[in-house]
Structure 1
């Protein structure tokens, strides 16, 4: 069988997913595992089935072992702080991530600390954390080589700051070393809009550029050692580790006269990463790195041949951009739910500058111990960053806004793609399925009854009122940020924004139901009322984070509420609830 590593990689992936589902969804877990082995039994060679079973079990048990913890409620542990801000602290405990609660003012990122406190098991598979640890006392702290790397990264920023200023220093640190802690939110949003956000997260592109630069000066072995140092210095991001493993496989396959297979190398890198970090299966960075590389391997040559008339450099940039999006875009739409329409322009114009900055930034790192040479290297960095700023501003003026796509629209796009493939194979009748699906989306967009939803916003809260094709968002602060508006328009199809920051609002729905939103006076006050104008009675109102109504007739999936002054008032939390007004009744939909 060709490429057995691919089958083994898939086995580990399925094993990890089954490990995640094992505790809460046992029946689904068994069904997935059984379906997988039936499928493999049909398509695989019999001698490979045993190894597929072994790697499935490796994935399954590695995930269970990672999230298994025998920490007592009251414990004293040694941790390394890996992330810290004003909201939370994340630390590494014997290779596992743990959330630290409590004040750690004297412990910096990268330092080892011996802490005493209380552990609460609270597994988060997506972020790979095994629980929360409430710190009572910090017994002491220590430094090692990794700590010195963390500290020197901060020292390097200060050196760049002295030569380039804070704005340019934050950009070179983000582009060359993936440290975006000092990068402004505006810059992050701009990179996102131009479709080049991966340039400020150390990726396979960074490792490729660094390795090519190293090989100009050193032999293979020294280049690999320095590549490992760069990987450690930038935080061992999954994309960087993946690229380093694939580069090592490529270089040594040539030395031993073996053919290099990108799919097998990609699978080997994935197996190694998932073995030590099984939660990566839910990590967006890990998935995008592998899907993007898979897309390049699968479609780059075909797309490049299609654009053969274009100049070579433009052809390469455009072909890589489109091949990356071909596989990663569906995943992005399902997880991040937005898409940059300017990704092609951003990649063609800006990525060459980013590549040069990655190389110059790492040269500056090498010479950062020699101030005169460091100052000289900063001159071309300043020139390239100035050019990057100018090009970015031009592109931002001509690039379309970010496209925010609701889940139902994403499913429709994927369905259209599936229909297109079937149509190409001669199944012409699939077009009727696409028309039916589009009709269902229109019905879903149209609200036949007045609907009210509570929404947590970036700087406060709001209510979304829907009726027919109208969707109004009332927020307790004025939303002036265009990016925030565009995101809300994309996610919730909002076509009108109002605020009750300074005024009361009355909105009449269906010519009968008056929605009253008083001027914002704090969370303890009434936030919204719905009144039936025919009976002059309040049907439902929100206050202090809850919603109150009168009378209840419960069913399995929803509650039908009708006002009755003789029945005791009942409160519900506002989260995860939608309210429909139907025939003089309020229907509370539990989302």
Structure 2
């Protein structure tokens, strides 16, 4: 019997990270189907045993079990069903109140009649109802019957600094400008309008107003130039707490700490091991981070830069150095971000290169000015207000220019992301010497084309409480006819159905679909029929049938 050749593990932290992720996924799917999960996981563990030497395998299994134990401890707390609980309020919106009990996230149903403020600590009579939401990290609902005591402690004061800063901004700028400034500085997008978020998303620069490694690295570099490593790290840590200790901010803080510490200890810095260690720490601390968009996008973007940045630099060597660096950095970061965005949101902006190129310098200058205002006590003195107004003038000009030149961001089916990841894996493996993987690339393309192409015409009626839409697919084209001209409804249809175009019909219409059938729409979409050109075919009532396929 031929023995498996053992894999040499040069980065044990990478292996530990993989086993930690496997442990969390095992717990996640095991909570739905334990037997099915066992059939999938056990062969993987056996394969790892054959592939790895015994020391690395044992280390991997230990962290696999630690991850499962971490999930069990987090998601299965021993809360009393009724009694007095201490709750830290971490989010207050019109839709929900979110709190933490012993570090676990709960949804708070306020039945006390008392007003609840963000950041405060509440002692109250509660009833706990278990209800796990693995994706969001929720362990259940807490029905707050009566507030016994409330504390506005140091943590409350720290958490409300961004709120007070927003109030200062509102005194000097318009509501839309204040919302954008607050988002740039604190990552707080609550006050941004739907149109602002959608526009920034279409431009591909929404990540610049989310707290990320970009913000932490910039703050660290500003302070580190003037002060010591300890002072810079301390201020960055406080800033991370102020912005809610998001996974992307924590990841950046961990990597900066490891980078500077390794240089001080005269050791080489390995970014892949660093990012793996950061992921392991965050996943064991909060297992639900694995399903957080912030975590996935932050680590996915950083991993892409680590793996592909240098290769792209070499590939674009003919370009001017600065342009080469920018293009290589942007494309490498998007390598893993693309499939995540398509699967999660059905959307990926193809405008990110030009938009990021023009907007990033503005955001950098703006962020530095805002950080300086924080360091001098959060005061928006005249000079700062004047500088921000000048920057906003330039920013508006850039947005007007981009609005005219950028492409409309299409909504994409998850099929594109799956095909991309499959082709990406096969191309990567073939470049590493596994030549047979090239065959897979040629197989994916026809499968993708067949999945997207519709012979003849496929018609479906899609509706909600107030609106109706007819989705028509033919060839590679997918169009929706709607009875409501609101942007929200049209974008909702584009997102759900991945259509290329949305057409609003004001009045009754009839037009040809194929040589055999035409479609008739009457009474504000309450009567939709497929009319045959030949009497041998039946009339199809789409309101009753909901869908039809014709050649």
The TM-score, its normalising length taken from structure 1, stands at: 0.80
CA positional deviation for 1:406: 1.0
Cα offsets for 1:339-381 (capped at 9, x unmatched): 111100122121122122222211111113556xx33333323
- C-alpha root-mean-square deviation of aligned residues, in Å? 3.4
Structure 1's unaligned 5+ residue stretches are 521-526, 543-577, 584-591
CA contact (8 A) 2:338 2:417 kept: no
**Residue 60 (structure 2) pairs with residue 15 (structure 1):** no
CA contact (8 A) 2:124 2:144 kept: yes
Of 380, 386, 405, which aligns to 1:379? 386
Partner of 1:396: 403
Distance in structure 2 (CA, Å) of the matches to 1:216 and 1:448:
64
Distance in structure 2 (CA, Å) of the matches to 1:531 and 1:119:
54
Cα distance change on mapping 1:7 and 1:395 into 2, 3 Å: same
State the number of aligned residues. Answer: 533
Distance in structure 2 (CA, Å) of the matches to 1:102 and 1:503:
48
CA positional deviation for 1:414: 3.8
Cα distance change on mapping 1:431 and 1:298 into 2, 3 Å: closer
CA positional deviation for 1:495: 4.6
SS for the counterpart of 1:216 is: helix
SS for the counterpart of 1:364 is: helix
**Residue 443 (structure 2) pairs with residue 433 (structure 1):** yes
Q: Which has the higher helix share?
A: 2
SS for the counterpart of 1:231 is: helix
**Residue 497 (structure 2) pairs with residue 491 (structure 1):** yes
Cα offsets for 1:468-521 (capped at 9, x unmatched): 568664656323469717x6178332655346xx8678899997998877459x
Of 67, 71, 74, which aligns to 1:59? 67
CA contact (8 A) 1:462 1:475 kept: yes
Of 239, 243, 252, which aligns to 2:248? 239
Of 399, 402, 414, which aligns to 1:407? 414
**Residue 201 (structure 2) pairs with residue 178 (structure 1):** no
Partner of 2:105: 97
**Residue 127 (structure 2) pairs with residue 118 (structure 1):** yes
CA contact (8 A) 2:165 2:378 kept: no
CA positional deviation for 1:143: 1.3
SS for the counterpart of 1:338 is: coil
CA contact (8 A) 2:469 2:483 kept: no
Partner of 2:118: 109
Distance in structure 1 (CA, Å) of the matches to 2:328 and 2:507:
53
Distance in structure 2 (CA, Å) of the matches to 1:455 and 1:441:
27
CA positional deviation for 1:581: 5.2
Of 73, 76, 96, which aligns to 1:88? 96
Distance in structure 2 (CA, Å) of the matches to 1:9 and 1:353:
36
CA contact (8 A) 2:460 2:547 kept: yes
CA contact (8 A) 1:451 1:466 kept: yes
Of 346, 362, 377, which aligns to 1:337? 346
CA positional deviation for 1:390: 1.5
Distance in structure 1 (CA, Å) of the matches to 2:473 and 2:217:
53
CA contact (8 A) 2:411 2:499 kept: no
Partner of 1:586: none
Structure 2's unaligned 5+ residue stretches are 1-8
SS for the counterpart of 2:269 is: coil
Distance in structure 2 (CA, Å) of the matches to 1:330 and 1:151:
36
Cα distance change on mapping 1:83 and 1:461 into 2, 3 Å: farther
CA positional deviation for 1:317: 2.3
**Residue 331 (structure 2) pairs with residue 322 (structure 1):** yes
